[in-house]
Chains A and B, each alone.
Chain A
Amino acid sequence: MNKNSLLSIVNFFCNFFKLLIGILIIAITIAFIHFQFDRDFYNEWSMEKPENDSVIRFETEAFLGQNAQDFEKLKVTEWKTISLYFTYFKFTATLILFFLAIHQFGKVLQSVRRLKTFKAINVCAFRKIGHYCLGIAVLSFFNYWNFEKYTKSSIAAPLDVILIALIAFILAEIFKEGNTLMEENQLTV
């Protein structure tokens, strides 16, 4: 597989994920707005108990009733307004940041395809990806789910996202060095 076909495939997936995230944001927003007006429509809808798989986490859980097993499935209609709004805005903001990070990565891929790899714009793009990932990490830090008979709140450090942010910042520094070398090479007579 040559370089260009690999880049084309990755570029295709970038565009595909951007489209998917765009559709997801619109769908969630429509469902969120519809939920405000017609809660009864979602009577049959239920969701899994929220879980956090981060290694570093602290969580508290409380429920009304005898058995914790009763809360494996949570009814969407029992979702408290503040928690619903909090989760919606947090999730939407996370998706938007994902979209922006993928968009920046797509721009880097485009410049590599045009053989303009070590341009200052790519340094900027990697820094932006790092900042977006840090934004996602901050958003993922605190979770709050409040249903009529079940409440869970947690604080967790999303190490995977922080690691991606770190890698993006390191790549930005590497590309900055590459940019300096390229400029020096161009200015050698």
Chain B
Amino acid sequence: MPILINLDLILEEKGMQSNELAAKIGITTANLSILKTGKAKAVRFSTLEAICEALNCQPGDILAYQP
């Protein structure tokens, strides 16, 4: 899929662990792993909003389009 998830980079930048983020935004670590590995078929706006709020970033920082 040409949509890349840069969640790992942002997490490293912010110095946050995956399980910490999962707990903050209220999703399971398994689901967060699906998102990080690019296996997710869709992302809810509510999840994206929670991630942006927790990491203090914009959706464009997490998602990137690579043709």
Contacts and interface: CB of A to CB of B under 8 A. Distances in A.
Contacts of B43: 188-189
Interface string A159-189: 0000000000000000000000001100111
B34 interface: yes
Interface in B27-67: 27, 31-32, 34-35, 39-44, 47
A102 B35 CA distance: 41
Contacts of B41: 183-184, 187-188
- Give the size category of A's interface with B: under 10
- Give the size category of B's interface with A: 10 to 19
A177 to B, nearest CB: 15
A163 to B, nearest CB: 36
A184 B43 CA distance: 11
A188 B39 contact: no
Nearest to A188: B42
A184 B27 CA distance: 17
Contacts of B39: 187
A189 B40 CA distance: 7
B51 to A, nearest CB: 9
Contacts of A183: 41
Nearest to B43: A189
A53 to B, nearest CB: 50
Contacts of B31: 189
A188 B27 CA distance: 11
A114 to B, nearest CB: 21
B40 to A, nearest CB: 5
Residue in A184, A187, A189 whose Cβ sees the most chain B Cβ within 10 Å = A189
A189 B34 CA distance: 8
Contacts of B32: 189
Interface string A37-81: 000000000000000000000000000000000000000000000
Interface of A: 183-184, 187-189
Given A187-B41, A188-B40, 19 more contacts: A183-B41, A184-B41, A184-B42, A187-B34, A187-B39, A187-B40, A187-B42, A188-B41, A188-B43, A188-B44, A189-B27, A189-B31, A189-B32, A189-B34, A189-B35, A189-B40, A189-B43, A189-B44, A189-B47
